[in-house]
A and B are shown apart, each in its own frame.
Chain A
Amino acid sequence: MSLEAEQKLASGLKELLGDRVSDIKVQRARSIFVTVKAEDYKESIRRVIEKYGITHISTITGADSGPTVDVMPHLSHAGTKITFKAAVPKTAAEIDTLTDILPGAVMYEREVHDLLGVKFKGHPNLARLVISDDWPSDVHPLRKEYKVIRPEPIRKT
């Protein structure tokens, strides 16, 4: 399968972002992964969405990678998925919010905050989205350290 269009887009991104990009990979047809540093995260995304007129963010995936948490917004440009990847250290899990440049990110950042404990600086309302109210605030279920504790039955069957 020819990946010409994707390669062209990848080169365009590399040219636009220059040193901010530490890795760029055409994963398959219509899917590109761009790795940036946490401090360049917002600026890189801002440049890309301005240049290519991107308005759609599909979601933001957070993934525990050992000492770090990867924050991965997935953008959509004319059918191609462009995923940015930035790693933040677990002990200081903070990164800039995208909600001022991509309003659609508002729910997704809340979800990553709930489940992985990443704080999005500047988010309008980082309230709980999916986790129950009685869940302890310092426990983030999708971190690898969290071992599943099953709820205790209230009555014996």
Chain B
Amino acid sequence: MTPSKPLRFEHSTHFRSGGTLGLVSWARASSPWLIHFNSAGCNACDIEIVAALTPRFDLERFGALLKGSPRHADVMVVTGTVTRQTRDRIIRIWEQMPEPKFAVAVGNCCVSGGVFRGCYNSYPGLDSVIPVAAYVYGCPPKPENIIHGVATLLGKIRGS
């Protein structure tokens, strides 16, 4: 069954338990829609993210779907070093995403610059450009790490 897009209720009239926020949080946490942005990465993290979607690891069982447009996404998964060229793109996409939104930094380059820290074109991590909700370390992180990162983020969302 395909998870449906979470509904945004202004007033909760039909849902009895949890109230408006409860329903929306539950819906959001059960079916996060992800958008993946590859900043200037070496692609190692990207292929591990794709591997996380394939049958052996199957990220989709969490209801996480990879979507194309920022306007439909709850979570932005970023890989790779943030460079001067990609910085503006990242900020634009981030601004296009509707609230509440979360950014996940995947891989050492995105978390803190990784091997590229100190290079003339690289920022020291994604959080020097946008706020980050979850950090997945590794170079590259194994698909299990990535799933753990997403699951941790879902836990955060549920708790909110």
Report the separation of the CA atoms of residues A155 and B83 in the bound assembly, to the nearest whole angstrom. 15
10 smallest CB-CB distances across A and B, nearest first, come from: A153-B128, A157-B127, A132-B85, A148-B120, A132-B84, A151-B123, A154-B129, A141-B120, A151-B84, A157-B128
Interface flags, A135-157, vs B, CB<8A=1, else 0: 10000010000101111011101
Contacts A132-B84, A132-B85, A134-B84 given; does A149 touch B120 at CB 8 Å? yes
Q: Are A151 and B127 neighbours in the complex by a CB distance under 8 Å?
A: no
Provide a sorted-by-A list of 28 A–B residue pairs whose CB atoms are within 8 angstroms: A132-B84, A132-B121, A133-B85, A135-B84, A141-B120, A146-B120, A148-B118, A148-B119, A150-B118, A150-B119, A150-B124, A151-B87, A151-B120, A151-B121, A151-B123, A153-B123, A153-B124, A153-B128, A153-B129, A154-B87, A154-B91, A154-B128, A154-B129, A155-B127, A155-B129, A155-B130, A155-B131, A157-B125
B90 CB, min distance to chain A CBs, angstroms = 10
A20 CB, min distance to chain B CBs, angstroms = 37
Interface flags, B46-68, vs A, CB<8A=1, else 0: 00000000000000000000000
Name which residue of chain A comes closest to B132, CB basis. Answer: A157
Contact size range, A: 10 to 19
B125 CB, min distance to chain A CBs, angstroms = 7
Is B39's beta carbon under 8 Å from chain A? no
Is B31's beta carbon under 8 Å from chain A? no
Report the separation of the CA atoms of residues A133 and B119 in the bound assembly, to the nearest whole angstrom. 18
Report the separation of the CA atoms of residues A120 and B140 in the bound assembly, to the nearest whole angstrom. 40
Residues in chain A near residue B129, CB distance under 8 A = 153-155
Q: Which residues of A contact B (CB under 8 A)?
A: 132-135, 141, 146, 148-151, 153-155, 157
Report the separation of the CA atoms of residues A141 and B119 in the bound assembly, to the nearest whole angstrom. 11
Residues in chain A near residue B127, CB distance under 8 A = 155, 157
Report the separation of the CA atoms of residues A112 and B122 in the bound assembly, to the nearest whole angstrom. 21
Report the separation of the CA atoms of residues A149 and B127 in the bound assembly, to the nearest whole angstrom. 19
B91 CB, min distance to chain A CBs, angstroms = 8
Report the separation of the CA atoms of residues A153 and B119 in the bound assembly, to the nearest whole angstrom. 13
B25 CB, min distance to chain A CBs, angstroms = 26
Name 12 extra pairs, CB < 8 A, besides A132-B84, A153-B128, A155-B129.
A146-B120, A150-B118, A150-B124, A151-B84, A151-B120, A153-B123, A153-B129, A154-B87, A154-B91, A155-B128, A157-B125, A157-B128
Residues in chain B near residue A135, CB distance under 8 A = 84
Residues in chain A near residue B83, CB distance under 8 A = 132, 151
Residues in chain A near residue B121, CB distance under 8 A = 132, 151
B24 CB, min distance to chain A CBs, angstroms = 27
Q: Are A150 and B84 neighbours in the complex by a CB distance under 8 Å?
A: no
Report the separation of the CA atoms of residues A155 and B84 in the bound assembly, to the nearest whole angstrom. 14
Name which residue of chain B comes closest to A149, CB basis. Answer: B120
Report the separation of the CA atoms of residues A149 and B119 in the bound assembly, to the nearest whole angstrom. 8
Residues in chain A near residue B124, CB distance under 8 A = 150, 153
